[in-house]
Chain A
């Protein structure tokens, strides 16, 4: 059943490409239909499969001569991320309701991207996973380059090349693992049991981990993320931050850490307290957390604030993974879900609700517009989303980051201490953005007079989208068990070694 999320999205993409031009309404409703059915399938799959271990959906030989199988399967981690993809897909369609230009092409690329993302989360063959991972690159490029804004061609090309370089690194690791294992299989489970030599894992692990982590926005390979997010149209930045960055983190977990666990073993010597690849990546994650937050603090463009905050929040995911502790890794997966929902929400508010009406994202311009009075819906939605992103109890971000921090404390208290700085700065930049964009009481500027009467009413897709994402974050925040029951056993199995 879950496999249909993939097929349905690709079929929807093909159908959109064949739709006659000049029928935007038809395209929108079709896209919404596809996304909603996808979400329902994901939800049903989640309800049916949570906490039941690895369930193989389909397993047929694909390229028999090379031992490549078409294996779709799902464990708790996959289920949570598939659910997130479903949510983000529906929300993205809702916030793209105002796309008038080349609508059917937009949704064709959009649904192709969604299909690729579903595919990555459900693949249990390394090769298949890689294929879906690369399928997701091209639609991203076109979504940003055609429908984007600020320096869109630059942002799109940068994203495409970063992704492709990352995937080339992954492919090298994949080829090396395939030829070294000699097991004549590319199944994730088979490769995890192949007993790859430790010295081999030692150099393949950082290669593959970095390859995936580029897409997760790991510092210092994060620079595609802010420019890409800012250049992208709203739905694409929602997807980029919401699910595409998760592809990277998921790859780090599912491929790099599971196939090459000994790559994280100590080197036998330490420089500045860094004695293994695990330490290296944990430190990079912590730097990302703090650096992203500090840079977000000084941005003048509202969307850049959110863009850098994504780098910071994804740092928590990577830190959580590098704790190698049950609680930390569980927190990392939960943070993937939480950040996916919240980043989507923040980008929707900034890119769609505010920017499409004010036509500026400069905080300095927004200050004079008194948006809290003129767009109260946007202001309160941002208050909620901002609080959730800060990690206020009651929302998903709190549970996730708390678990990551507890896990990292067990691994190395210094990591937690440094990441804590990031949280404090996170409060500051969210507060600053909130204050300047919505609740400033500066006298009206000249800019405001020009646009005084242009702020259109909030439309139903916007209300529906915001409500859905807020609800998702609240439900998980108030009752995290709903996801944790799926994540915890899966993480436990991964930690026990051997994939499944």
Chain B
């Protein structure tokens, strides 16, 4: 390994870091006196350029990823799932930056954008990482960014509370993860996933390996807000400033699931494609998340908390697909399809919530009363996004669910996977109820006030574009599927 290789593989991350520095210099150095909205726009635009530059450098990555010459160990993957996840991370980051432009929660827009870009760089790293150390570094880079972002509305006590909870739970889960990693290292003598697989295959490390995997699952389960490691999510979603919450709900989820894919591939090889303890752990997490997330969401009166519990439920569906996993390109690609389109939809949902919140002063369900009169376009966007989250065709959320569950049944036949898929579908019928609770207020129930809710043209345009994508990808599902399939040479 020489530094030229390292540089070529980490070009996208480098682009983001440079952009972060440029944003800081521009904002702190040249725009101190400018109006907040100008600074926000400049910072967001520079951040978007950074993401665009990172996207542009993606094809320049070395084809085989970053390889350690002595042993042939792959440290960072390039192409395949990693590429899909990285492009998804960058695209979703761009969208959350658009939402920043007319936000008013902070004076420190330059710092905000810089932290977003660094967190995104962490996301890019863990999407590609094949080595426990790199995984941990990337995860911490991402997590530290997220803690700061959650706390960014300094005048809001909720924001501080959300960040503290997020930080404490996050610190604990990082400890679990490290503990699990240390066992894996101790068992195999290597931090490289491929080496660990090679060392563990055929070995019967039994209980120790299971303990290690449980610890890893706990650490990663925290990142994706799987029950029972979900407690931070409702508070973070509720307290964090809207663009930050959107970032937490989308970008960090894509990165974490990409990482889970890498770990699941390794686990699959360790257990020779059979359903080892890793599958069992994930199936338990999945079941708990689907059931608890959907049922608790029924009782929410805050739309952000509702979105948090629905996120837990969606994480449960994806974990189900990871529990019944196969190494064929189909499974990773449907999982990434799900999480990227889910991220897209959620960013839109948070965008709508942010606009309503600014005008109504809260994200309670009742703040949405009469939305169809107060801002018909916003109401229509909300309709599309929430129906997609509920999985109503022909919206993209439906295809994501269908592909995911078809993949589960394609991998494993038998009563257990079938029963779990049936449970997931039954639970998504439950989810329709709470999504309709929001839509009911927007469209059905009488308005308390009819003063229009004004959204800035840019925000409205971005939200409309997201809704349009949700419809187009839903009506022409092959578009996105074929694009993703293009990253897997064998598909």
Contacts and interface: CB of A to CB of B under 8 A. Distances in A.
Contact of A138 (B392, B405, B421): B392
Given A63-B481, A134-B398, A176-B418, A157 B433 contact: yes
Interface in B447-491: 477-478, 481-482, 485
A288 B426 CA distance: 26
Question: Which size class do A's interface residues fall under?
Answer: 20 to 34
B171 interface: no
A395 B423 CA distance: 46
Nearest to A17: B380
A141 B477 CA distance: 26
Given A65-B478, A66-B406, A176-B409, A146 B387 contact: no
Question: Which size class do B's interface residues fall under?
Answer: 20 to 34
Contacts of A105: 372
A61 B406 CA distance: 19
B112 interface: no
Interface in A123-158: 130-131, 134-135, 137-138, 141-142, 145-146, 153, 156-157
Interface stretch (A163-171, A308-316, A320-328, A420-428): A163-171
Contact of B405 (A134, A146, A161, A175): A175
Given A165-B426, A179-B406, A135 B393 contact: yes
A97 to B, nearest CB: 23
A344 B485 CA distance: 49
Contacts of A164: 429, 432
Interface in B372-416: 372, 380, 387, 392-394, 398-399, 402-403, 405-406, 409-410, 413
A172 B422 contact: yes
B428 interface: yes
A157 B432 CA distance: 10
Contacts of B429: 161, 164-165, 168
Contacts of B394: 131, 135
B482 A175 contact: no
A135 B392 CA distance: 7
B440 interface: yes
Contacts of B485: 65
A156 B440 CA distance: 10
B436 interface: yes
A63 B418 contact: no
Contacts of B440: 145, 153
A317 B418 CA distance: 32
A65 B481 contact: yes
Given A62-B478, A65-B478, A179-B413, A134 B436 contact: no
Contacts of A66: 403, 406
B393 A63 contact: no
A130 B393 contact: yes
A331 B440 CA distance: 40
B338 interface: no
Contacts of B398: 131, 134
Contacts of A153: 440, 444
For the residues of A in contact with B, the DSSP-based class is helix
Given A65-B481, A160-B432, A168 B410 contact: no
Nearest to B432: A164
A121 interface: no
Interface in B92-141: none
Nearest to B478: A63
Interface in A1-59: 17
A176 B394 CA distance: 21
Contact of B436 (A131, A135, A157): A157
B443 interface: yes
B22 interface: no
B175 interface: no
Nearest to A137: B392
A134 B399 CA distance: 13
B425 interface: yes
A178 interface: yes
A146 B426 contact: no
Contacts of B421: 172, 175
Contacts of B432: 160-161, 164
A269 B118 CA distance: 68
Contacts of A176: 409, 418
A146 B422 CA distance: 32
Contact of B482 (A65, A141, A171, A178): A65
B433 A175 contact: no
B478 A138 contact: no
A496 to B, nearest CB: 31
B425 A172 contact: yes
Nearest to B433: A161
A443 interface: no
A63 B392 CA distance: 17
Interface in B156-191: none
B260 to A, nearest CB: 23
A64 interface: yes
A183 B463 CA distance: 40
B478 A171 contact: no
Nearest to B333: A65
B478 A168 contact: no
A62 B392 CA distance: 18
A160 B437 CA distance: 12
B482 A146 contact: no
A421 B299 CA distance: 46
A364 B406 CA distance: 55
A64 B409 CA distance: 19
B197 to A, nearest CB: 28
A138 B387 contact: yes
A331 B490 CA distance: 53
Contacts of B478: 61-65
A131 B409 CA distance: 20
A145 B425 contact: no
A160 B432 CA distance: 9
Contacts of A131: 393-394, 398
A157 B436 CA distance: 8
Interface in B66-100: none
A146 B428 CA distance: 24
A329 to B, nearest CB: 29
Given A142-B443, A168-B429, A160 B393 contact: no
Contacts of B387: 138
A164 B443 CA distance: 20
B420 to A, nearest CB: 11
A290 B307 CA distance: 46
Given A63-B477, A130-B393, A179 B433 contact: no
A34 B432 CA distance: 30
Contacts of B426: 165, 168
Contacts of A156: 444
B393 A145 contact: no
Nearest to A147: B444
Contacts of A171: 402, 425
B221 to A, nearest CB: 26
A146 B443 contact: yes
A354 B426 CA distance: 41
Interface in B336-386: 372, 380
Contacts of A134: 392-393, 398
A131 B482 CA distance: 21
- Which 3 residue pairs are nearest across A and B when measured between Cβ atoms? A131-B393, A179-B409, A168-B425
Given A62-B478, A168-B425, A168-B426, 19 more contacts: A62-B477, A63-B399, A65-B481, A131-B394, A134-B398, A135-B393, A138-B392, A142-B443, A145-B440, A161-B429, A161-B432, A161-B433, A168-B428, A168-B429, A171-B402, A175-B402, A175-B405, A178-B406, A179-B406
22 contacts: A62-B477, A62-B478, A63-B477, A63-B481, A130-B393, A135-B392, A138-B392, A145-B443, A146-B443, A146-B444, A160-B436, A161-B429, A164-B432, A165-B429, A168-B428, A168-B429, A171-B402, A175-B421, A178-B406, A179-B406, A179-B413, A180-B413
